Chain A
Amino acid sequence: MKTPTILFSTLLFALTVTLFAQSGDTLKLKHSYFEVNDFVEDNEGCLKCHGEQKYKLEDSNGRIVTREMHHNRFVDRDMYYTSVHKSFSCTDCHSYDLFEYPHPLDAMIEEKLLCMDCHGYDESFAQYHFEDIEVEFQESIHNMDEFSCWSCHDPHSYRAFMRNADDIEEAILYDNQMCLSCHADFSQFMLLTEREEINVVESHEWLPNQIAHFRSIRCIECHTEINDSILIAHKILPKTEAVKNCNECHSRDSRLMHTLYKFQIKEERKAGFANGIILNNAYVIGANQNVVLNWLSFLVFGFTFLVILFHAILRILKLKNK
Chain B
Amino acid sequence: MATVKIYLYPVWIRIWHVINALLFLLLIFTGLSLHFSSADFNLLNFQASVGIHNACALIITFNYGVFVIGNLVTKNGKFYRKWRKNLIPKLWKQFVFYAVGIFKKEPHPFPITEKQKFNPLQKVAYVFAMYLGMPLLILSGIALMVPDMIAYKVFNVSGLIFYDVLHIVVGFVLSIFLLIHIYTCTLGDKPGTLFKSMVNGYHEEHE
Q: Do A and B associate with each other?
A: yes
A residues sitting closer than 8 Å to B (CB atoms) are 206, 208-209, 211-212, 215, 245-248, 250-253, 273, 279, 282-283, 285-286, 288-290, 293, 297, 300-301, 304-305, 308, 311-312, 314-315, 318, 322
B131 on interface, CB distance cutoff 8 Å = no
Asked, given contacts A252-B38, A279-B161, A286-B36, whether A246 binds B169 with beta carbons under 8 Å apart, the answer is: no
For the complex, give the distance between the alpha carbons of A301 and B38 in Å: 22
Asked, given contacts A282-B160, A283-B164, whether A289 binds B102 with beta carbons under 8 Å apart, the answer is: no
Cβ < 8 Å to A, chain B residues 77-124 = 98, 102-103, 105
B residues sitting closer than 8 Å to A (CB atoms) are 34-39, 42, 46-47, 50, 98, 102-103, 105, 147-148, 158, 160-161, 164-165, 168-169, 172, 175-176, 179-180, 183, 186
* A-B residue pairs, 7 tightest by C-beta: A283-B160, A286-B37, A246-B46, A251-B38, A211-B148, A212-B147, A308-B183
B158–A279 touching, CB < 8 Å:
yes
For the complex, give the distance between the alpha carbons of A279 and B161 in Å: 8
For the complex, give the distance between the alpha carbons of A250 and B186 in Å: 39
Which residues on the B side are within 8 Å of A251 (C-beta)? 37-39
A318–B103 touching, CB < 8 Å:
yes
Asked, given contacts A209-B147, A250-B46, whether A308 binds B179 with beta carbons under 8 Å apart, the answer is: yes
B183–A311 touching, CB < 8 Å:
yes
For the complex, give the distance between the alpha carbons of A312 and B176 in Å: 17
Given contacts A283-B160, A286-B38, 15 further A-B contacts (CB under 8 A): A211-B148, A245-B46, A247-B37, A247-B38, A248-B39, A288-B164, A289-B36, A290-B168, A297-B172, A300-B172, A300-B176, A301-B179, A305-B179, A315-B103, A322-B105
Asked, given contacts A253-B38, A286-B37, A286-B38, whether A314 binds B103 with beta carbons under 8 Å apart, the answer is: yes
> What's the minimum C-beta distance from A213 to chain B, rounded to whole angstroms?
10
For the complex, give the distance between the alpha carbons of A74 and B98 in Å: 81
| Main SS at interface, chain B | helix
Pick from B35, B158, B161, B179: contact of A286, CB below 8 A. Answer: B35
29 pairs of residues in contact across A and B, judged by CB atoms under 8 Å: A208-B47, A209-B147, A212-B148, A215-B148, A245-B39, A248-B39, A251-B37, A251-B39, A252-B38, A273-B161, A283-B158, A283-B164, A285-B35, A285-B164, A286-B34, A286-B35, A286-B38, A288-B161, A293-B165, A293-B168, A293-B169, A297-B172, A300-B176, A304-B176, A304-B180, A308-B183, A311-B98, A312-B183, A314-B103
Which residues on the B side are within 8 Å of A286 (C-beta)? 34-38, 46
For the complex, give the distance between the alpha carbons of A304 and B184 in Å: 13
> Looking across the interface, which residue of chain B has its beta carbon closest to that of A250?
B37
For the complex, give the distance between the alpha carbons of A318 and B183 in Å: 17
Asked, given contacts A209-B148, A304-B176, A308-B179, whether A253 binds B39 with beta carbons under 8 Å apart, the answer is: yes
Which residues on the A side are within 8 Å of B36 (C-beta)? 286, 289
> What's the minimum C-beta distance from B192 to chain A, rounded to whole angstroms?
14
For the complex, give the distance between the alpha carbons of A248 and B40 in Å: 9
Asked, given contacts A250-B46, A311-B183, A314-B103, whether A285 binds B161 with beta carbons under 8 Å apart, the answer is: no
Which residues on the A side are within 8 Å of B172 (C-beta)? 297, 300-301
Which residues on the A side are within 8 Å of B158 (C-beta)? 279, 283
Which residues on the A side are within 8 Å of B165 (C-beta)? 290, 293
Which residues on the A side are within 8 Å of B102 (C-beta)? 315
For the complex, give the distance between the alpha carbons of A196 and B101 in Å: 77
Which residues on the B side are within 8 Å of A247 (C-beta)? 37-39, 42, 46
For the complex, give the distance between the alpha carbons of A288 and B103 in Å: 45
For the complex, give the distance between the alpha carbons of A215 and B35 in Å: 22
B47–A246 touching, CB < 8 Å:
yes
Which residues on the B side are within 8 Å of A209 (C-beta)? 147-148
